[in-house]
Amino acid sequence: MQMWEQRARDEVSASIHQDSLVLQNSLPKYLNQLVDELSTKIERTPARIASDEIESTRIGKLHGHERAGYADYSLTQLIFEYHILRQVIFQVLEEEAPLGVRERDIIIDSIEQAVNDAATQFSKTLRDIQELFIVTLTHDLRGPINVVKMGTQLIMRRLERGDTHIDVAARMINSIDRLDSMIQNLLDASRLRAGQGLKIEFEECYLDKLVHEVVEDLNFTYGKRFVVVSDSNIKSYCSRKEIRRVIENLVINAVKYGDPSTPITLTLQQFETQICLTIYNEGDPIAPDAQSILFQQFRRTTSAEEQTGWGLGLFLVKSIIEAHQGTIEVESEEGKGTSFIVKLPRFPS
């Protein structure tokens, strides 16, 4: 362990800040396990082999969990620690006598398994830490954002109609709402990555009225460039709040990437078993290879790289629609524009 520690300190930069006990920690337990595997005096019954495998996995995961807790450690450095350990083990043992094929195979297999277990746990622990950070961050940001929004709304109430500052205050509120929406997207994505799912409450909802409400609100920000084609009295059971997020997200995307001189059309239709919402814009098509990553989190197409956002919008749109037992697809071709097609069941189970 002393030889390994000296090499680790020389070759693994993250180890410089750790004292001896913290740096070595679970590795002596691993060596004891390796001793048992190499021993010719211990009867290797099936039960003993199974027990050793469980213990070996536990030790590898323990090491990975420890390293993930240190800010300086990367997965590459964790793996490199095991490579150094393998070299040191061979060096020490072969000073006494050449190792046989059996011994070398056991050591190599054991190290590889330990690396896999440690790396898997390292990634999982790091992901858990990141998720906790995101949840804490989004929660803490909400407070000051609400204060700023309430203050801006109060200022607006005190301004007289026609005052040029009203437009400025309105833009500020719109920007605050967008920031709040981005934070909510980040929080929801974090929940989905943690396997928790979205918190959705279903209620009776008239989708035709909801589409018109969203368009009226967006007219204030983007001007009257939206066309709604809809049957009347289209009713479903859904989360009004979440379906509104879907519509807003898809329409704002159409504004960002569509031809600014052309209208954006929202078509809502009701069929026997499903409701179909199509959001269409003209402009440059989405390349086929880009279409394949549209609904993945933190992935952005080349055309979207200059736009603000987390790259979470369409990922969450798809998650919300699937939570409603629906589907979403995209059709985009040169000269034909781009359509996002949402299909929801009329009577979700």
- DSSP-assigned letters across all residues of 305-329: TTS-S-S-HHHHHHHHHHHTT-EEE
Residues 243 and 141 in one domain: no
Residues 208 and 337 in one domain: yes
Residues 65 and 79 in one domain: yes
Residue 259 lies in a domain: yes
Domain count, the chain: 3
Beta-carbon contacts of residue 3 (< 8 Å; ≥ 6 apart):
88, 91, 92
Q: Which of 234, 165, 241 is nearest to 200 (CA)?
A: 241
Cα separation, 311 vs 148, whole angstroms: 25
Q: Identify the pLDDT of residue 155.
A: 82
Residue 333 lies in a domain: yes
Containing domain of residue 30, as a range?
Answer: 2-130
Is there a contact between 207 and 235 (Cβ–Cβ < 8 Å)? yes
The CATH number of whichever domain residue 233 belongs to comes to: 3.30.565.10
Residues 125 and 162 in one domain: no
Report helix, strand or coil for 194.
Answer: coil
Residues 60 and 120 in one domain: yes
Examine the fold and report which residue of 173, 193, 213 is the final residue of a domain before the chain moves on: 193
Q: Identify the pLDDT of residue 190.
A: 67
**Interstrand relation of 264-270 and 235-238 (parallel, antiparallel or unpaired):** unpaired
Q: Identify the pLDDT of residue 309.
A: 47
Q: Identify the pLDDT of residue 21.
A: 62
Residue 67 lies in a domain: yes
Cα separation, 291 vs 175, whole angstroms: 28
Residues 109 and 119 in one domain: yes
Examine the fold and report which residue of 105, 130, 155 is the final residue of a domain before the chain moves on: 130
Q: Identify the pLDDT of residue 276.
A: 95
Residue 68 lies in a domain: yes
Residues 313 and 334 in one domain: yes
Report helix, strand or coil for 1.
Answer: coil
Residues 87 and 219 in one domain: no
Tokens of 210: 């909801």
Cα separation, 286 vs 288, whole angstroms: 6
Residue 198 lies in a domain: no
Q: Which helix (H) or strand (E) holds 207?
A: helix 207-222
Q: What pTM was estimated for this model as a whole? A: 0.53
Q: Identify the pLDDT of residue 69.
A: 74
Letter for the amino acid at 205? Answer: C
Residues of the chain with pLDDT under 50: 298-302, 304-310
Find how far residue 277's CA is from the centre of its chain: 26
Residue 243 lies in a domain: yes
Cα separation, 213 vs 275, whole angstroms: 18
Residues 219 and 339 in one domain: yes
